[in-house]
Structure 1
Amino acid sequence: MNIAIVDPMFVVGEFALQIVMACVVLLRKGNRPHVAMAWMVVVLAVPIVGAIAYLLVGETRFGAFRIRRHAKIISEVDCPANHVHHDSRTRHFQLEPAQHQIATVAQLASHCVPLAGNKLWLSGDSQEVINRMCDDIDQAKLHVHLLSYIYLADKAGQQVAQALIRAASRGVSCRLLVDGVGSKDFLKSALRKKMQQGGVNVCEALRVNMLRLIISRLDMRNHRKMLVTDGIVGWTGSQNIAEAGFAPKAKYAPWVDCSVRIAGPLVKELQMIFIEDWYMESQEDLDDVLKIEPDFQSDGVIAQSFATGPNFQNDAVTQLIQSAVQIANEEIVLTTPYFVPDYATLSALAVAARRGVRVHLVVPARNDSMWVRLASRSLFRNLLECGVRIHEFQKGLLHAKTIVVDRSTAIVTSANLD
């Protein structure tokens, strides 16, 4: 018969760790009550494992140095002078009261104001988007700025690469910023070397290394997808630089995205977001390109940009969604591939349905993340009981992230609801 003897110092140390971690969780600024309670259970039930897990993913750690540098970049790039549009028509418009509420939330989150005179072109055809992006790159005379979370060295990636190399050969400044995790295979590929040899400046966002693992969370990524050419044409939406077949997860294909091409004053705001991200990684000052004024489109619409992420220290997406849901009178259509929202967003959707708004939630029938799929399904019953209509997209992985309110206001984003 064996008797296990536990060192009293281990017991004392474990208890001390529980107390310290409980205090860290409780005092963590910005923790939602239900999130804090869940972490409390983890760190008290399994102290050592729980403490490690919390330090790895429990806090939105972005690194003090990066936060300070980003604050400096914001003060230099995202300043009032750079938001000035010399064509006074960009601010001569009248928003509906409901639209004004959404615009105010977005403006408070990322300092960008609504602007008139934007011509938008929307597409859910992946190859069509790649073709038109390449056409815009081929028309560029000054610069091409491309940012993508995922860049694959597939046919789409090759097509865009060739367009960038052609542009660089004409003397156009071509800058490509890709995420260190989402595009890890591309960053090691022969295609990257070929692009750099062809004059394309390729930069890695949020480089992965052991030091960054210690000081910040590796799952905090640059998830944006955007293109700006000559400061006059812009693209954004959910599509990465990849074929719809998406080779790494082909069994879920095709990926179905939503992208928007923009011509008009809003392009300057997209340019500003790219410059901030580029400066963050390369320390190259591109402030001069903000002197370019995109043309006002007389047949255009009012549009507004907003940037999100841990370096902005805001919950712009959830705040915007909740505002959109609250102002809806007739209908809300929300599409997202990963539906695991916070409690406030869930409640807003349920309340909207109960007050008679037609709430449609569109998600993929098959999801590439088992955990997200299970988490999403656990939320469906309550939403259905409240009157929310849930539609499962059958023809591939619906990757679009959009909201349409009363068929008069739309939000197109690259951000997920998870």
Structure 2
Amino acid sequence: MLSAIYIQFIVGTIFIILYCVTIVGLILVILTENRNPLKTIPWVIVLLLAPGIGLLFYFFFGQDNRKQRIISRRTYKRIMRRPQEGKLPQDMCIVPEAYQPLSTLLSNSSQSSLLYGSDITIYTNGTDKLQDLLKEINNATHHIHLQYYIFCDDETGYKVQKALIKKAREGVKVRVLYDDVGCWNVKNRFFKEMQDAGIEVYAFLKVAFPILTSKVNYRNHRKIVVIDGRIGFMGGMNIADRYDKGTSWGTWRDTHFKIIGKGVHGLQSAFLIDWYVVSKKLLNDKIYYPPAQIYSDNIMQIATSGPVGQWRTLLQAAIFVIANAKKYIFIQTPYFLPTEGLNQALQTAALGGVDVRLMLPKRSDTRTANMATHSFIDEMVKAGVKVYFYKPGFLHSKLVISDDTIACIGSANMDFRSFEHNFEINAFIYQREFTLQMKKVFMHDMQNCERLVPSKWLKRPWKQRIAESFMRLFSPLL
């Protein structure tokens, strides 16, 4: 009896020692990562006061992957070299002086080339985008590269699936990437039918055991289609019925681009990098980057960002555009959970007399994120930011325009998850004419909004404000 108790004591002591060593070691790792103290201190406190729960949460949400690489530098350079080849003299045109540092930033941190002369079609509803996407898929002759965060097995999804299978059977090479978490609710049979038809299909960062992996927190949120290296689609729309038919409580307002010309090369390289990550197949032939005609005088940069690598490119770019706005900065985003740097940049711009307008959905598809968003609005309106709530349905558009000079759309929301955890892609277009087009889109949407009245907003019930502030604590996880 005594020996059994003694053995239990020894085993228990060893467990406690190992547990304590693990927690202390983890705290030392966090400290040596030299993160922002605002992030480091909460993790240290949680690990000290609630080590069990803290260890679990850190494993899922707290690890810093900045120094990890999912693709070798050599392979990355080989893929990124192609968009920079075959430059025309027009490719060397000058970016507006105010945005030359931004162009350099995107080049240095994301290897984003200046791509000249693309033709851009703007979609503000899923119906038009779906029709054109199906038409261009049907016209494909060599390859179709398709990547979405959500690829649903609903009516819309089966329309696209059927079109892809048809082209694959005609001999066109079709490659499909989808995010494993974004498509959790999609039946495996849906993708298996494409594989059986000869389509190469891969899930990005596949999560085999969701409860036992930290990969669940790092998702590929990009939406990219490249057809024959000549035509591309990108923006905020996934493949699902709601983008075409709306929701039970309203329309689904989104923004998407069709790109023809040199800009497609930027989308192609982004897709092929992700393709290599999941398939380990390097596609770098010149046929994927055919010569491009000149359709306009716009200059475009396609920039990517993700949880690995040294820089948070799209966050840095957003802060730069806001901080350098002289007249106005207009923003559409479905979720507004800004980092401290982004928060300060918006308030500073508004306090400095810049016309800052922030358009959000009046009703969100995520109640918790919507509550957290409301806690940030207090600071915005006090600084003079004009806030508008879109009423007809859900606003899912990700748009930034400034000073009639630059426009940006893509997959990234104005929130922690997009800037810190997700793999995202945005297009930056430097052209007055195009920016004015996007400005008209924003102004048209304003007609379907109600402007927030600061005096009324700041007087909302204290219980509501406490609940919103509580949800704000979880902003990095929403």
Q: Retained in 1: the 8 A contact 2:113–2:266?
A: no
Distance 1:17 1:77 in 2: 40
What does 1:343-382 correspond to in 2, within 5 Å? 343-382=340-379
What does 1:22-33 correspond to in 2, within 5 Å? 22-29=27-34, 31-33=35-37
TM-superposed deviation, 1:23: 2.1
| Helix, strand or coil at the partner of 2:411 | coil
* Mapped pair 1:264 → 2:264: no
Q: Retained in 2: the 8 A contact 1:203–1:282?
A: yes
CA RMSD between the two structures: 2.5
Distance 1:252 1:89 in 2: 51
Matched to 2:279, the amino acid is S
CA distance 1:193–1:83, change in 2 (3 Å): closer
TM-superposed deviation, 1:109: 1.9
Q: Retained in 2: the 8 A contact 1:177–1:204?
A: yes
Number of equivalent positions? 404
Partner of 1:74: 76
Q: Retained in 2: the 8 A contact 1:112–1:269?
A: yes
Distance 2:188 2:232 in 1: 28
Q: TM-score, normalised by structure 2?
A: 0.79
* Mapped pair 1:387 → 2:391: no
TM-superposed deviation, 1:349: 0.3
Q: Retained in 1: the 8 A contact 2:70–2:308?
A: no
Q: Retained in 1: the 8 A contact 2:67–2:310?
A: no
* Mapped pair 1:57 → 2:61: yes
TM-superposed deviation, 1:27: 1.7
Distance 1:17 1:288 in 2: 48
TM-superposed deviation, 1:70: 4.6
Q: Quick one: percent identity of the two aligned structures?
A: 28
CA distance 1:291–1:238, change in 2 (3 Å): closer
Partner of 1:231: 229
Give the stretch that moved more between structures: 179-188 or 292-301: 292-301
Distance 1:298 1:120 in 2: 9
Matched to 2:51, the amino acid is P
Q: Retained in 1: the 8 A contact 2:229–2:288?
A: no
Matched to 1:51, the amino acid is L
Matched to 2:61, the amino acid is V
Runs of 5+ consecutive residues of structure 1 not aligned to the other structure: 1-6
| Helix, strand or coil at the partner of 1:227 | strand
CA distance 1:312–1:156, change in 2 (3 Å): farther
* Mapped pair 1:188 → 2:188: yes
TM-superposed deviation, 1:115: 1.8
TM-superposed deviation, 1:218: 1.5
Partner of 1:45: 49
Partner of 2:196: 197
Which digits, 9 at most, give the CA deviation of each residue in 1:99-137, with x for residues without a partner? 212212211221112221111111111011011011111
TM-superposed deviation, 1:157: 0.9
Q: Retained in 2: the 8 A contact 1:220–1:310?
A: yes
Q: Retained in 2: the 8 A contact 1:337–1:400?
A: yes
CA distance 1:226–1:364, change in 2 (3 Å): same
Distance 2:107 2:98 in 1: 15
CA distance 1:18–1:194, change in 2 (3 Å): closer
CA distance 1:173–1:332, change in 2 (3 Å): same
CA distance 1:385–1:272, change in 2 (3 Å): same
Q: Find the partner of 1:315 among 312, 315, 336.
A: 312
Q: Retained in 2: the 8 A contact 1:70–1:311?
A: no
Q: Retained in 2: the 8 A contact 1:14–1:48?
A: no
What does 1:110-259 correspond to in 2, within 5 Å? 110-186=110-186, 188-189=188-189, 191-210=190-209, 213-214=212-213, 216-244=214-242, 250-251=247-248, 254-259=251-256
TM-superposed deviation, 1:17: 5.3
Give the stretch that moved more between structures: 355-364 or 82-91: 82-91
Partner of 2:411: 414
TM-superposed deviation, 1:164: 1.0
Distance 2:397 2:90 in 1: 28
TM-superposed deviation, 1:85: 3.6
CA distance 1:13–1:176, change in 2 (3 Å): closer
Q: Retained in 2: the 8 A contact 1:144–1:175?
A: yes
TM-superposed deviation, 1:415: 1.4
Distance 1:252 1:70 in 2: 46
Distance 2:154 2:89 in 1: 43
Q: Retained in 1: the 8 A contact 2:146–2:175?
A: yes
TM-superposed deviation, 1:13: 6.6
TM-superposed deviation, 1:288: 1.1
Runs of 5+ consecutive residues of structure 2 not aligned to the other structure: 1-8, 416-478
Q: Retained in 2: the 8 A contact 1:61–1:217?
A: no
TM-superposed deviation, 1:331: 0.7
Give the stretch that moved more between structures: 369-378 or 140-149: 369-378
Matched to 2:321, the amino acid is A
What does 1:81-96 correspond to in 2, within 5 Å? 82-96=82-96
Distance 1:212 1:111 in 2: 35
Q: Retained in 2: the 8 A contact 1:136–1:229?
A: yes
| Helix, strand or coil at the partner of 2:164 | helix
TM-superposed deviation, 1:289: 4.7
What does 1:2-21 correspond to in 2, within 5 Å? 9=13, 19-21=24-26
Q: TM-score, normalised by structure 1?
A: 0.89
CA distance 1:278–1:252, change in 2 (3 Å): farther
